[in-house]
Amino acid sequence: MNSPKRERLAKAGWKSGSAAEFLHLTPQEELYVELKASLCRQLKRQRQKSHLTQEELARLVRSSQSRIAKMERCDPSVSIDLLIKSLLALGTTRRDIARAIA
């Protein structure tokens, strides 16, 4: 957001900040959310790089297409375990996973 707009909004009583501030996340919670989001992005990139549809990946990990879609959207109901299991099924190495969360 540019400075004049920020100033105009502040004069009108609005505050700007991060999502973590808005949600009152602890530093650990913020780090967890960022880590999970990185894994979700990596899953989508790896699936597309492998030229697989969500349905094909779902069959590979014995899940459903809608679950894969939730994983790629980083739905809160998706566990990190399932994300990592799916990444490994796509042939992602430990080093690639480490790089994604670093």
Q: How far apart are CA 42 and CA 83, in angstroms?
A: 9
Q: What is the pLDDT along the chain (102 residues), one digit of tens a residue?
A: 678 888 888 889 887 778 788 888 899 999 999 999 999 999 999 999 999 999 999 999 999 999 999 999 999 999 999 999 999 999 999 999 999 888
Closest CA to 84 of 98, 70, 66: 98
pTM above 0.75, yes or no: yes
Identify the residue whose tokens are 């299991």.
85
Architecture of domain 27-101: Orthogonal Bundle (1.10)
The C-alpha atoms of residue 81 and residue 56 are separated, in whole angstroms, by: 19
Instruction: Extract the tokens encoding 66.
Output: 């809608």
